[in-house]
Amino acid sequence: SLHDPLQISQTHSLEEIVQTVVAMTDRLFSAHSALLFFDGDELRWQSGSSLKKDEQASATIFHQHRLALAPYLQDDCFWINLNSSGESSGVLVIKFDELSPKLLKIDQALMQGVAAQIALSLERDRVQQRNQREALFNEYERMHRVLLNSVSHELKTPLAVLRTATD
């Protein structure tokens, strides 16, 4: 169950965390859950149960208006923004059916914690990608300097010979 944080903490990638959370949430609440991730206000990708167009539109509006500083329970859906560093990076949606158990306050708090963990994982993933890009750029710059120094050195010798010959 989600009450075992070890199961989530043993995952190594954002994709594994998302798959684990979706499976555990679906099982725990006998519901269908989806995670929507945004880049700015544009939907980047979705995982878990597919949402109807109106539910996806509601999730997008929910994200854009940052309504989820507090979770929101509406009819058969529970919405939680994924917040880290004061920014919303996505929405966790849990869709209930008639047979789903009632969502208790403790479960709501638990899901907020899970959403915070997903948001931190997403932030960690972004930082790692930025660091990789930075490392690649630094390597490119180093190789560029080495090449220029090498070409410069190779050109200096023939130029020195030509100068000596012309003097």
| pLDDT at position 4 | 53
Q: What is the 3-state secondary structure (H, E, C) of 105-120?
A: HHHHHHHHHHHHHHHH
Write phi, then psi, for 157 (nearest 5 degrees).
-65, -50
- Supply the mean pLDDT for the chain: 78
Contact indicator for 82, 91 with CB cutoff of 8 Å: yes
Name which of 14-18, 34-38, 90-94, 136-140 the model is least confident about.
14-18
- For residue 145 the two structure tokens come to 């300097």
Assign 83 a pLDDT band (cuts: 50, 70, 90).
Answer: confident
Burial of 33 (0-12, 13-18, 19+ CB in 10 A): buried
Quote the pTM value: 0.64
| pLDDT at position 147 | 92
Per DSSP (E only), the strands in 22-61 are 32-39, 42-48
Indicate the length of the chain as a whole number: 167
pLDDT tens readout for residues 63-79:
777 654 567 777 778 88
- Crossing angle (nearest 10°) for helices 14-29 and 105-166: 170
| pLDDT at position 133 | 94
pLDDT tens readout for residues 98-149:
766 667 777 778 788 888 888 887 788 888 889 999 999 999 999 999 999 8
